[in-house]
Amino acid sequence: MTTFVDGNHIQLLRNGTEYFPALVVAIDLANHDIYLQTYIYQADAIGELIGNALMRAAKRGVAVHVLIDGFGSKDLPPYFVKTLTHAGVHVRVYRPKISPWTLKKSRLRRLHQKVVVIDSTIGFVGGINIIDDYDIPEPAPNNVPPRIDYAVRIEGKLMPAITDNVRKLWHRITWTPLRTAKALHQKNKSKKAKVNTAPATPMSAALVIRDNVLHRRDIEEAYLSAIQNARSEIIIANAYFVPGWRFRRALMAAANRGVRVTLLLQGRMEYFLMFATHAFYHEFLKSGIEIFEYHKSFMHSKVAVIDAQWATVGSSNIDPFSLFLAREANVVINDTTFAAELRSDICHTIESGASQILPHVWARANLLKRASSWLAFGMVRLFLDLIGRRNEE
């Protein structure tokens, strides 16, 4: 069950254009400690921008902790990490073993969450990696917009839960003894300045995480609960959309009871398994679900709005990797103003760069394309069998 906390100020950040400047400002104002956890950290102009801010913080005595994923950040040059560490930044790698010759679940469980905590008072949660928005899988003309993605900046009473999440993971990865971890926490707590946890525009929100211990299905269940209780509209914008049967059934049931269900999906395929999404088009369209594919640029969004009230922004895709394996973090916001802002942005993306998949057109779709979708879906199901998760679909 999703536990909401009142008294939060949450700002929607669109793309790196809004996210990275806000992050740098927060880092430069840090007094005590910084935790940054990300799947991809790229040593490009953005990586240097954030890295320089982190090093400035470390040099003025802030305890800076950076946790990156071993697979997602496998291309991060050793010299870049060495530069950070020499400046006093503590860098750790989550599951550095990334052998392609094994399907062991331990190798496939990645750190996919993107969370930053500053002085336990300011947090950032979303889907944006530390990478340039224009670093996309294929060369693009100058007029193509950057990758579409979202994050939120948070202050308020949700921050203790977010802080606890990142600190626990950091101490687990670094094998810090429990007594030492508690001592560090008390030390940082004693140094913290007093902050206003009752913002002018309070919002109700919840942190929903996915791990392989106590929170294995929390994000999926949060989605399912909201979908099953939807009365008027469901809008989901998700880049990697290969939902299990329970999720598909919930969406179709909502459409069948008169809820308008709209899916904004990635139109540009980055790898073959993404074609598995097409395997569901026929049953979705038959149920009255509207499907739009975004082709103008690349979309990395993992957001949704339901009944103009419930909204989520985070790192979790709706596919087996995010829902069954990876460490993920989403924020769920129960607020009409925030939901309206996010909904408006998704609708603008649909109107400006997406094309609708019409039932009669899809029925006549290229036979090879439809066959590829079922081949890709078969590979996904084989993958689930290999890791022993088919029964969780």
CA-based end-to-end distance of the chain: 19
Please tell me which residue in 135, 164, 211, 307 is annotated as part of the active site.
307
Domains with residue ranges and CATH for the chain: 9-203 (3.30.870.10), 206-392 (3.30.870.10)
Given the residues 69, 119, 335, 345, the one annotated as active site: 119
Q: Is 157 a catalytic site residue?
A: no
- Is 32 considered catalytic here? no
CA distances from 376 to 75, 118, 283, 381 (A): 27, 41, 17, 9
- Is 187 an active-site residue? no
d(CA 311, CA 333): 5
CA 171 to chain centre: 22
Judge whether 112 counts as a catalytic residue. Answer: yes
Examine the residue annotation and report whether 278 is marked as an active-site residue of this protein: no
**Residue 179 phi/psi, 5° resolution?**
-60, -40
Write down the catalytic residue from 32, 65, 171, 302: 302
Point out the catalytic residue in the list 112, 149, 278, 335: 112
Note if 307 is an active site residue: yes
Fill in the amino acid letter for 7. G
Spot the catalytic one: 9, 32, 65, 114: 114
Query: Which of 153, 151, 165 lies closest to 123 in space, CA to CA?
Result: 153
Per-residue pLDDT of the chain (393 residues; tens, 9 = 90+): 789 999 999 999 999 999 999 999 999 999 999 999 999 999 999 999 999 999 999 999 999 999 999 999 999 999 999 999 999 999 999 999 776 555 565 667 899 999 999 999 999 999 999 999 988 766 555 567 888 999 999 999 999 999 999 999 999 998 754 444 444 445 444 444 344 444 446 899 999 999 988 898 999 999 999 999 999 999 999 999 989 899 999 999 999 999 999 999 998 776 656 677 788 888 999 999 999 999 988 999 999 999 999 999 999 999 888 888 899 999 999 999 999 999 999 999 999 999 999 998 887 776 666 667 767 777 776 766 665 554 455
